[in-house]
Amino acid sequence: MGLLLVFLLLYYLPSHASQVRPIQVYGLITQSVSLSPTKHLAHPVEEVLWHYISNGTRHRLADFRNQQLSIRHSQFSHRLEADNNGTRLWIRELRSEDTGSYIAFITLQGTTQTIDLTFNLTVYEPVPSPDIKMEMEQNTSDWCNFTLLCSGPTNPSALSYSWMYRHKEQYQPYTNGTTIRVSLQPESWDGEYLCFIHNPADHKNVSITPREFCPDIRRTKVINDSRKHYILLIILLLALLLLSIAWYVRAMKKRKKGPPSTVIDPLNEVQYIEIHTCQSDKNLKTIYSLEQKPASPRETRAQTIYTELQNVHRTSQE
């Protein structure tokens, strides 16, 4: 008889079931979030009662009956929606004060079983865009040394920072924290460092490439040597041009002055005389006579003059 009484009590008393641990949910201010069970319910839902706990105070949030949702808390007025027979609750236009615990009491049809689901909602601000600052250290021809600092405009204590190195489409986790110190050889300068700044509800990233600030010492040396060669070639060409101009100007000046004037030296003149026969004056004949002619500058002082002397008497007899 006692066993029958215990069985009847267990049959008519409503059963109660609750989840093992609360469901953690994250949301962003001005965004939407949904609170829903992680497992499928075996029976249809008769009603759902939603409660909200904030700062240790419990509030009646909303009721779902006959496919209708009734909002009971003014803080969530016009911001709640429900579907899946009231087991999933949507909160629109999230606010920071919406952070808290939400409990759904679900009653199944045809049974006395009640299921309790608890959701812990945390509302975050959107993550700001991060910024990377670089500080160069002493570099060599084989190593580029620098420090990277990742920061955001808000309080860094509310955010998490992590780094990742990407090279040739391969990603490798680097380290966590706002600051990293890096030493790279030239073959790794084409890689990329990414800083991720995130909270549980949002994340953003920014990247920087070492090639942007790591000077290739060897390539720079080759470029500088080539520049020196070009500069020397230009200087040589300019010098040749100046010499050509100077030679041309000098030649033009000589052409304008003309040939040098010829000065006749009396000592260089050729002297000409007349030769006569020894007869009376009336029979005096000039055998040879020639006007004086100035000597050419190119002729030498000594010249030989040839002439023919004839006998005047013999000529007359003939």
In angstroms, the CA 151 to CA 184 distance is: 22
Domains of the chain: 14-124 (2.60.40.10), 131-215 (2.60.40.10)
**What confidence tens digit (pLDDT) does each residue in 183-233 have?**
888 888 888 999 999 999 999 999 999 988 887 655 555 555 677 777 888
| Cα distances (Å, whole numbers) of residue 218 to 141, 175, 222, 223 | 6, 30, 6, 9
**What confidence tens digit (pLDDT) does each residue in 57-71 have?**
999 999 999 999 999
Q: Is residue 63 within 8 Å of 46, Cβ to Cβ? A: no
Q: Position of tokens 């001005």?
A: 30
* 134 pLDDT tier (thresholds 50, 70, 90): very high
User: By CB neighbour count within 10 A (0-12 exposed, 13-18 middle, 19+ buried), where does 27 fall?
Assistant: buried
Average pLDDT of the residues in 274-295? 53
Global pTM value = 0.57
